[in-house]
Amino acid sequence: MSTETWNGLEVHRFGDGPELADELLHLVLEGKKTATCWDAAEGLKGAEVGKPWAVKNSAGDIRCVLETVELTQRRFDEVDARFASDEGEDDRTLVSWRAGHEAYFTRNGGFAPDMLLNCERFRLVQIVGEGAER
């Protein structure tokens, strides 16, 4: 669970490094990324349906507010093409989602095809800072 807050909201950053954080945030701001997932062994990280949260870029600047609209658990090998597309990454196919996420989980402590994931869908509530005209 995040201990950092902004305007009373928990603050999170996508990915596992500065480049990926900015890339994924950009997809959110474009409207292409409306979902994310993480190893269920990490817990819910404060996520709950209806709860807003802030997202920062690699420089630590708050860039948007999101609201969780769905939170489910499923095994890695049970993630479907719709969820993969909603994550908005690469070419948005299940094949590329599996390859990218297998690499991500492998470099972050371990991967197993049957690992349990927390799968979250969210909606963009507000853009903050640059491009906040939306």
Model pLDDT, residue 131: 57
Name residues whose C-beta falls within 8 Å of residue 86's C-beta, 6 or more positions apart in sequence.
33, 34, 35, 121
Pick the CATH number of 5-127 from 3.10.400.10, 3.40.50.880, 3.30.1330.10, 1.10.10.10: 3.10.400.10
Token look-up 């197993």 returns: 112
User: What's the pLDDT at 32?
Assistant: 97
Please state the domain extents for the chain. Answer: 5-127
Give every residue of the chain whose pLDDT is below 70, as ranges: 1-2, 131-134
- Give the count of beta carbons closer than 10 Å to the beta carbon of residue 28: 20
Cβ atoms of 66 and 49 within 8 Å: the answer is no
* pLDDT tens-place string over residues 82-107: 999 999 999 999 999 999 999 999 99
In the chain, the amino acid numbered 52 is: P
Distance in angstroms (rounded) separating the CA atoms of residues 98 and 81: 10
Q: What is the pLDDT of residue 132?
A: 60
Q: CA quadruple 54, 55, 56, 61: dihedral positive or negative?
A: negative
Q: What pLDDT digit, counting tens, does each position of 3-14 carry? A: 799 999 999 999
pLDDT of residue 134: 46
